[in-house]
Structure formats: structure tokens, C-alpha cells
A and B are shown apart, each in its own frame.
Chain A
């Protein structure tokens, strides 16, 4: 079980409103990702759910029970911290066993669960080491192990991969996804990295300045962003935004087109421009094009597209992939 409802919750530190009135239903078994730029309140929201901070107003329900006043120890949630927060004076075994010891389980049961978790996480050979003797990825696994042994109602992840190097991050992403598939427990995951959000989430919650900008599946957010912020935040490279006369032609204040939704040509097309930077990755080619009258646009081509700095190219947007926004930045449908 792991159904969490947030009802009109707010959080302010002094005069600063970190979370504005906010409602959210997190379904049992769902992998939900809070994403947003730093300072958007995503970590605070997670800590409110965890009980590490008090809400200023509103209620939090966990599995239908009002948990607003329940201390973190009693909420039945497990958390994986950005710094892993392992106990440095305890062995891996004791780290993983700690929550079970606190719960008062008997020794044999603790031993059984620790062994199971260690096997699942490939930690069996490291059980007697101290956290200080482990690599970043192994520490991460210990932190996850400490969380799963309790069989919590939900897992909370606070930017767990941001201290790992790029290759390891991809691996751990897969492992966490697999873990979710096998445990089928609710996971709430905070990140500032939209790629992590897109690849792992069942649903994404995009936050900005303490407000929910949009909630939806990754593809919904990609295809139908509700406003300029979501449109610019989801997708890599970023969506291009065009204002002025070209937007007017489509009855919009701002026109958005993703780099991958423009056809490239060296001979003809809708918008003419000069290549300022070209990035050739083999699988893709990214061009930064200085257009005439539309500013710099980023475009992506499949495979190799042989142009260089200074060459002239034409860009043709796929008209059914154009996003239109009004003066307030809201999407026009």
C-alpha cells in the first residue's frame, strides 16, 4: 500500500512561500517524479511528505490515514538521501539492519532480511565493510538496501544520483527502475534532471516556484506541455521559441518547435540561416543556426548531416508539431 494524498498543503519559511497551496494524489505503486529547477520546492515537498518538515497548512494522508502530525519515524516511509546519509560508524550490515532494529524485529528475522536485500543489491561481499570503504555506487546501494528492508509504504528519493558520475548514473537509473518493477511499491523521486524524470517516471510533476506547473506521463508532457515553462523544461535540447511576426502568422504570441521537429536542407525550406555551431555525434547532428529574423534556433538531424560553421541551411518545421502559446505563456489548443 502506498497511496498518498496532499490536500491544499503549503509551506513557508518566514515570509518566503516555498510551497503554495498544492493538491496531489499519488497512486499506490506509482513511480512519480518531482522535477524542476533548483529552488522550485521539490525537495521541500518531499521532506513534507517524509515528515522532516511541518506543513504550514493543509493535510497529508497516507493510505487514507491523516499523517499530517505523525513524526517521520512513524509514517512508514523510507528515504534515500542525496548524500546517502549512511551511518559511518556502522558496517554495511548494521546500516541495513538499523531500521529493523529500531522496529524491534528479532535477530533471525533481521539477519534474513539483510541477507536478502544484500543479495538483491549485489552487496553480499561487502556486508562487513564500513561505508567509508565503499565506492559511490555501492554506497548508493546500501542506502537503497536500508530503505527496502523495512518494506515501507513508499520510497522517497531525494536526488539520489546527483553525486555519481555519468556512466554510473545511467546504471543506477536502470537498477532503480528494475527495483520498482519488482517491488511495485510507490516511489517518489526528486530530481532536477529531466532525462531522469522522462526515463523513470510513470507520472511527472513539474514544479516551479512552489507551484505545480503540470502533472502527466512523460509523453503527455512532451507532446502537450501546458505552458512555456514545461515546454522549455521537458525535452533535450530545449524547445525553440519564436516570437513576433512569424508567431502572429499562426495566431500565437509565442511559437514553439522542438529541434527534432524541423527538417534540414542545404538547398531550400521555410527559414534560412547560417550554421554557428555544429555538433556531430554520429547518431545525431545538432545545429545551432543563426536565422534571419528568428534568432538562433537549435535543430537536430538523424545521423550525420554534413555542414560546418558558416554554411547556409534551411529549416522547415513540421506544422503538426508546432506549439502555440498565448501572451501569458499558456498553450493554445
Chain B
């Protein structure tokens, strides 16, 4: 009796949760479906859900019209480059704060986080002018630097929270066992922190991939990543739903797949280590 009541309850919950899940996911699903329709079917009323002539022509056309792969490659280089560069700078900094805390460590950390609160528009003009003068406008290298800088506080913060969970005694044991600082970081700290470093990397790749203030304002055509590539579809309103969908699908698919596969690490990363 109690058992059937609880399994009825479970069935109800399952149906309800699936309905909500599909509702939230629907815009993505609809975009993917529309990308396989012809333009006429894309705006047909009433719209067809699955029963239409599936076609790949939109994808071909998007690639031909706006060279998807170049923007894709820009996105890969910018997000990976800024994340790796950020990690190289952040790992030593996080080691310092986690294992040799000083009186001001908390203040330094808070200050770093507060740089994240600096609204980008506050420094848009100088950065724009500096970039123009240094010839960095519309270059991948320039964006790697900017995105590394805006995400650096987050990388440091996340690594710090992961490192802090590693007992200091283990690093001390390494020191007693004759390991120098380099051996301590390479042989003991880094292997122990691999899960944390991985989820930090993932989250930052996603943040950099989707960053859409600096990528829009500092690029034109050459270095434009997918965020800017897709923004170029904003003008011809309404007429090219299927192509817009194909372009959108291609822009979000890599990160969506990466995100789904690494869900577990990501959940931890998403909370910035602040919630366990």
C-alpha cells in the first residue's frame, strides 16, 4: 500500500520533472530541429515538429556564406588559449594563498574578485584605444589576453578553493621526504588537484566561449569568434530562420556537448567551490 503510493508519487514526479525539463530545453531543441528544415517549413504555420523533409542544405550554406570553420577555430583558440594562459598564472598564485596564507590573503582574494565587478564598459574606451594603437584590434592574440584577464580572478578563486581542501600536512610530508618546491608542486599537488584543475578549465572554456562583450567590441571580421559570427545574423530579420538555426546550432553544439559530457566536474566548478 505504502509502496504503491510512493511509486505512484515517483511516477508523477517523473512526468512532471520531464515536462519541466523539456520546457526549459525546448528553445534549444526547436533551434536544432529548425536547422534541418527548409526556409519555407521553418516559418510554416502551424509549424511541423518532426514530420518535415530533413535537409542539411542550411549547414552547407552557412559555411559557404560566412565561413563557420574560421570562426569556430577562432573560438577554440581564444577560449583554450585564455584558459591555459590563465591556469599557468593562477596555479602558483593559488598555491601561495592556499598553503602559505598571510594576514592579507583574504583581502587579496576579495580584491581579485572585486576586479570582476569592474564593469567592462568602465574600461572599454581605453582598452579599445590601447588595442588600436598596439594593432591588437581584431586579433586572436588580443582577445586571448583580455579574456584571460577577465577570467583570471575566477580561475584563481576556484583553484584556491580546490587547493584548500588538500591537507597541508601532505605537502609538508613531501618536504620532509626531501622534495623541493618544484617537486612538491609537480609530483604531489598537481596530481592531487587534477579534478579541480579540470573543472576549473572546463568552466573557463565555457565562459570564454560564450563571452560576448569584448569579443563583439574588439573584433571585426578576421578574429571574430562564434559570438560575433552569430551576431551578424541579427540584421535580416525573420527571413532566414533555418539558416539562423543552423548557424546557432553550430555555435553552441561544441560547448553543449563538452558541457554534457563533463557534467559532474562542471557542477562542482559551477559553484565556484563555494557550495559542497
Contact = CB atoms under 8 A, between A and B. Distances in A.
Direct contact of A and B (CB under 8 A): yes
Interface of A: 50, 52, 71-74, 77-79, 81-83, 85-89, 98-99, 102-103, 146, 150, 156
Given A89-B191, A89-B192, A98-B174, A73 B179 contact: yes
Interface string B158-193: 000000000101101111111110010001100110
B179 to A, nearest CB: 5
B172 A85 contact: yes
A79 B187 CA distance: 19
Given A87-B188, A88-B192, A89-B191, A81 B173 contact: yes
Given A83-B167, A85-B169, A98 B177 contact: yes
Nearest to A14: B103
A78 B176 contact: yes
| Best-buried of B170, B173, B180, B183 by chain A (most CB within 10 Å) | B173
Interface residues of B, number: 17
A73 B173 contact: no
A156 B173 CA distance: 11
A50 to B, nearest CB: 6
Query: Which A-B residue pairs are the 9 nearest by beta carbons?
Result: A99-B177, A85-B173, A102-B178, A85-B169, A79-B176, A89-B191, A73-B178, A72-B175, A85-B170
Nearest to A90: B191
Given A73-B178, A88-B192, A103-B178, A79 B183 contact: no
17 contacts: A52-B172, A52-B175, A71-B175, A72-B176, A73-B175, A73-B180, A77-B176, A79-B172, A79-B176, A83-B169, A85-B170, A86-B173, A87-B188, A98-B179, A102-B178, A102-B179, A150-B178
Contacts of A99: 177-178
A132 to B, nearest CB: 12
Contacts of B174: 87, 98
Contacts of B172: 52, 72, 79, 81, 85
Contact of B167 (A73, A74, A85): A85
A215 to B, nearest CB: 25
A73 B176 contact: yes
A98 B176 CA distance: 11
Nearest to A78: B176
A77 B191 CA distance: 25
Contact of B173 (A74, A79, A150): A79
Contacts of A71: 175
Given A73-B176, A81-B172, A102-B177, 20 more contacts: A50-B176, A52-B176, A73-B177, A73-B180, A74-B178, A77-B176, A79-B176, A85-B172, A85-B173, A87-B170, A87-B173, A88-B192, A98-B179, A98-B187, A99-B177, A103-B178, A146-B177, A150-B177, A150-B178, A156-B176
A86 to B, nearest CB: 8
A197 to B, nearest CB: 22
Nearest to A152: B176
A163 to B, nearest CB: 12
A146 B176 CA distance: 10
Contacts of B191: 89
A88 B175 CA distance: 16
Contacts of A73: 175-180
| Best-buried of B176, B180, B187 by chain A (most CB within 10 Å) | B176
Given A89-B191, A102-B183, A81 B177 contact: no
A68 to B, nearest CB: 17
A99 B188 CA distance: 12
Contacts of A72: 172, 175-176
A276 B177 CA distance: 53
A83 B170 CA distance: 9
A146 B192 CA distance: 19
B160 to A, nearest CB: 20
Contacts of B175: 52, 71-73
A50 B173 CA distance: 10
A183 to B, nearest CB: 17
Nearest to B183: A102
Contacts of B187: 98
Nearest to A94: B187
A103 B174 CA distance: 12
Contacts of A103: 178
A204 to B, nearest CB: 24
A146 B177 CA distance: 8
A72 B173 CA distance: 10
B173 to A, nearest CB: 4
A98 B172 CA distance: 13
A233 B179 CA distance: 39
